[in-house]
């Protein structure tokens, strides 16, 4: 399956709002988990069906409902029915190739964003779609598979004196997005270390394997930019929302996300330019090496022109050649060849051609 664009064959000819999963199944069965908390209590459990979490709509506590696994449209439809989510929103949740976006509804705010992970074994950046539905007293998140960057958030929720326990689901959403953006920087930083190391190698030893690695990193940086640039747009739009779902107390934290998003985009752009510079430097180094080889071959051929001329004269099949029967003719001709060679080398040296 293409990494930059998912296949949309299944949606061809279907009406808007059709619940069709687009992407690759990454888990065998969906997993549902709810964390409910306030300053006094905290409840964390895995649940069997979404019916076991419907009570979260009516409580005064903050509820975080997380669903791992999007390949069962019926489950997503049930979530939509229980929490009054519009079909178009559910369609976006099931489309793992959906461009990151944000939508404001009367009772909900919908955000779709990409989480990035670096696969060290394959040297590839992997992306997973995170969709979040924010309401007044709960947050529903949808992920493609178990495993994420949110474990520090769960640990913070367990601490009773933490800020997360005091504030609502809007602050919880902020912390989740903050983790996603921080992980952008970690992925870019890890790749950037190798990209910066390449500079000396390009100048010192520009081999074909290095060119392959540069092209690999160019592709991965392009894949990162595909996620971080829309994320910056989303953060910018969040700060401009005028919704009762997001309290004024959270706005300063949201503005802080803009700095991280800008830094992620700037870093990706810098490394993109560095890789382009590596390609240019590689081509220049290979061109210089080729020029040096051609210079050597040209000098070598130029030296042999007069030597070939002399050898050609005395290699002709004429009976009468005055020097042909001279006793020391061979040594004289050999001496002349050596003298011509030395003279030409000294001349090339004087002209700084060698």
Please report whether residue 18 resides in a domain. Answer: yes
With beta carbons less than 8 A apart as the criterion, state whether 34 and 64 touch: yes
Does 123 score more than 90 pLDDT?
no
Please tell me the predicted confidence (pLDDT) of residue 114. 92
Residue pLDDT, tens place only, 216-241: 999 999 999 999 999 999 998 888 88
DSSP 136-201: SSEEEEEESSS--S-HHHHHHHHSTTSHHHHS-HHHHHHHHHHHHHHHHHHHHHHHHHHHHHHHHH
Q: Are both 183 and 266 inside the same structural domain?
A: yes
Q: Are both 220 and 303 inside the same structural domain?
A: no
Look over the chain and give the mean of its residue pLDDT values, rounded to a whole number: 87
Please report whether residue 1 resides in a domain. Answer: no
Please report whether residue 58 resides in a domain. Answer: yes
**Structural domains counted in the chain:** 2
Mean of the pLDDT values across residues 21-45? 88
Q: Which domain holds residue 93?
A: 9-284
Residue pLDDT, tens place only, 49-65: 999 999 988 888 999 99
- pTM attached to this predicted model: 0.80
Please report whether residue 59 resides in a domain. Answer: yes
In this structure, of 102-116, 183-197, 211-225, 293-307, the range with the lowest mean pLDDT score is 293-307
Q: Are both 298 and 172 inside the same structural domain?
A: no
Q: Are both 276 and 149 inside the same structural domain?
A: yes
Q: Are both 273 and 306 inside the same structural domain?
A: no
CA distance 241 to 239: 6
With beta carbons less than 8 A apart as the criterion, state whether 164 and 158 touch: no
Kindly report the CATH number assigned to the domain that includes residue 325: 1.20.58.340
Please tell me the predicted confidence (pLDDT) of residue 3. 57
Q: Are both 211 and 313 inside the same structural domain?
A: no
CA distance 289 to 182: 42
Q: Are both 199 and 308 inside the same structural domain?
A: no
Please report whether residue 63 resides in a domain. Answer: yes
With beta carbons less than 8 A apart as the criterion, state whether 150 and 138 touch: no
Q: Are both 41 and 141 inside the same structural domain?
A: yes
Q: Are both 327 and 341 inside the same structural domain?
A: yes
| Coil, helix or strand at residue 125 | strand
Q: Are both 206 and 345 inside the same structural domain?
A: no
């Amino acid at each position: 399956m293409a990494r930059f664009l998912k296949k949309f064959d299944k949606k061809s000819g279907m009406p808007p709002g059709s619940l069709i999963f687009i992407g690759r199944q990454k888990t065998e069965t969906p997993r549902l988990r709810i964390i409910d908390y306030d300053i006094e209590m905290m409840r964390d459990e895995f649940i069997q069906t979404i019916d076991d979490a419907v009570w979260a709509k009516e409580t005064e506590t903050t509820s975080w409902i997380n669903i791992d696994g999007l390949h069962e449209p019926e489950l997503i439809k049930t979530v939509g029915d229980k929490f009054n989510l519009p079909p178009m929103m559910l369609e976006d949740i099931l489309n793992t190739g959906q461009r990151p976006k944000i939508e404001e509804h009367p009772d909900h705010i919908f955000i779709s964003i990409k989480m990035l992970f670096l696969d060290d074994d394959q040297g590839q950046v992997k992306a997973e779609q995170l969709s979040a539905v924010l309401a007044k007293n709960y947050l529903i998140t949808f992920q493609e598979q178990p495993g994420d960057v949110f474990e520090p958030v769960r640990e913070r929720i367990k601490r009773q004196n933490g800020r997360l326990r005091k504030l609502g689901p809007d602050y919880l959403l902020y912390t989740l997005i903050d983790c996603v953006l921080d992980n952008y920087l970690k992925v870019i930083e890890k790749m950037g270390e190798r990209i910066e190391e390449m500079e000396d190698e390009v100048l010192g030893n520009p081999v074909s394997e290095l060119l392959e690695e540069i092209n690999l990193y160019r592709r991965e940086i392009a894949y990162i930019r595909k996620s971080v640039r829309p994320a910056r747009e989303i953060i910018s739009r969040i700060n401009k929302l005028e919704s009762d779902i997001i309290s004024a107390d959270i706005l300063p934290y949201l503005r802080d996300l803009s700095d991280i998003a800008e830094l992620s985009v700037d870093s990706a752009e810098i490394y993109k330019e560095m890789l382009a510079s590596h390609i240019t430097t590689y081509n220049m180094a290979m061109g210089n090496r080729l020029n040096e080889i051609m210079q050597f071959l040209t000098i070598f051929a130029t030296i042999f022109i007069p030597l070939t001329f002399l050898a050609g004269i005395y290699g002709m099949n004429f009976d009468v050649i005055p020097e042909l029967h001279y006793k020391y003719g061979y040594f004289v001709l050999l001496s002349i060849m050596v003298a011509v060679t030395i003279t030409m080398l000294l001349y090339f040296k004087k002209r700084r051609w060698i």
